Amino acid sequence: MNQGEIAYLDNAATTPLHPEALAAMLPFLGDRFGNPSGVHAVARDARAALEEARDLVADCLGARPGEIVFTGGGTEADNLAITGLHARRGGTVVCPASEHHAVLHTVASLGGRVVPVTADGIVDFDALADALDDDVSVVSVMLANNETGTVQPLADIGALLREHAPNAVLHTDAVQAFPWLDVATLAASAPLVAVSAHKFGGPKGVGALVVREGVAVDPVIHGGGQERDRRSGTHNVAGIVGMAAAMRVTVEERERTVARVGTLRDRLADGLLAAVPGTRETGDRAAKVAGNCHLRFEGIESEALLILLDEAGVCASAGSACTSGAIEPSHVLTAMGIDSADALSSVRLSLGPTTSDDDVDLALKVVPEAVARLRGR
Ligand code: PLP
């Protein structure tokens, strides 16, 4: 997306609403306003749309319709998975140190165990095996990281759990993975899977948790018993319908998007590595999702760089949007063993389906100029 001279390279923070999602939502912001929990014609109309959306979302996630719980976003889906399962089964919850705060803080709130990751950001298998035992009830490992784009080997993690923690349920936060990876296949071994609509062209404040048959979670939000008692509250029908439309488009176009955006990302990363001395790439590119370009510019403070980039029309981020503003090294980079000054020199340029050649051209022009200016050259 190049709005005039703006290159939006913050798609891991949020994506623009896809036109098909908007079109699907509009009737539910207008005439089709029913509450799907009711019995009359207007309610039934909303319920039909809700269940149609559920079928589509289930299909895109490799789940059955009854296994989909609609939530108010990815954070809530992660909370429901971990807190909801722990409330039901007790035991110990475990996650790697590189998880999104939606998982990390939930695990901390339950007194859980946090295990280290390697320098490439992959879960340390020996440490994970050590943290597992019969008492472990939930292990939460994200499919793709929001800062570095690193993809975890979920099938291998599932196998480790079966060996060392036979009572554990695997939850995966697939919020950042869904735009790029076939979550239906890659997360098939995880009984709990969280997604969030606004990361793939849907609206903000809507998400879903797959709760596979045979796994029960206690609700985190209590009330009228919607979503088969797993998540109460009147359904956000427009949001859910918009999420389903965005999911369909994402899945239909994913292969083409990954190929096209991956090429753009490589041009951007390789171009900046060549043009800016003292630049390092975070993580192993071969293990990252196609839209992630995460670089560290030696001697630079990313907060200052982001201001110059913003002035020059490049929207980027220094880490996850949830923590930007706090000038602390990212917990993800720290977990990878990157020291504080190095971590504070990092910038995430995240591409998406709407990213164009012009966006990359602008970043390739602006970033080297801004870094040179900050270095006083
Ligand atoms: N998990 C990951 C990996 C994310 O990147 C995000 C959003 O940044 C979330 C969870 C939270 O999702 P939401 O913004 O829908 O609450």
The 10s digit of each residue's pLDDT in 132-156 is 999 999 999 999 999 999 999 999 9
209 with 219: CB under 8 angstroms?
no
- Percentage, residues of the chain above pLDDT 70: 97
Percent above pLDDT 90 for the chain: 95
Would you place residue 325 in the very low, low, confident or very high pLDDT band (cuts 50, 70, 90)? low
Pick the CATH number of 19-249 from 3.50.50.60, 3.60.21.10, 2.60.40.10, 3.40.640.10: 3.40.640.10
User: Does the pLDDT value for residue 15 go beyond 60?
Assistant: yes
For a pocket test of ligand 1, which of 105, 145, 196 has the largest count of ligand atoms closer than 8 A to its C-beta? Answer: 196
pLDDT for residue 320 is more than 70: no
What was the pLDDT predicted at 62?
98
Alpha carbon of 78 to ligand 1 centroid (Å): 9
Second-level CATH architecture of 3-16+255-374: Alpha-Beta Complex (3.90)
CA of 75 to the centre of ligand 1 (A): 6
d(CA 218, CA 234) in angstroms, rounded, equals: 18
Q: Burial of 82 by CB count in 10 Å (0-12 exposed, 13-18 middle, 19+ buried)?
A: buried
Query: What is the reported pTM?
Result: 0.96
Tokens 């970043």 correspond to: 363
Going by CA atoms, what residue is nearest to atom 12 of ligand 1? 74
Average pLDDT, the chain: 96
Mean pLDDT of all residues in 178-197: 98
What does the domain layout of the chain look like in residue ranges? 3-16+255-374, 19-249
β-pair type (68-71, 292-297): unpaired
Segment 227-262, tens digit of pLDDT: 999 999 999 999 999 999 999 999 999 999 999 999
| Ligand 1 atom index nearest CA of 320 | 8
Q: How far apart are CA 349 and CA 170, in angstroms?
A: 30
pLDDT tens digits along 84-135: 999 999 999 999 999 999 999 999 999 999 999 999 999 999 999 999 999 9
Question: Span 171-192, mean pLDDT?
Answer: 98
pLDDT above 60 (res 324): no
Residue nearest atom 9 in ligand 1 by C-alpha distance: 74
99, 176, 317, best to mutate for ligand 1 pocket (most atoms within 8 Å of CB): 176
For this structure, is 315 an active site residue?
no
Enclosing H/E stretch for 2: strand 2-3
CB 20 within 8 A of CB 246: yes
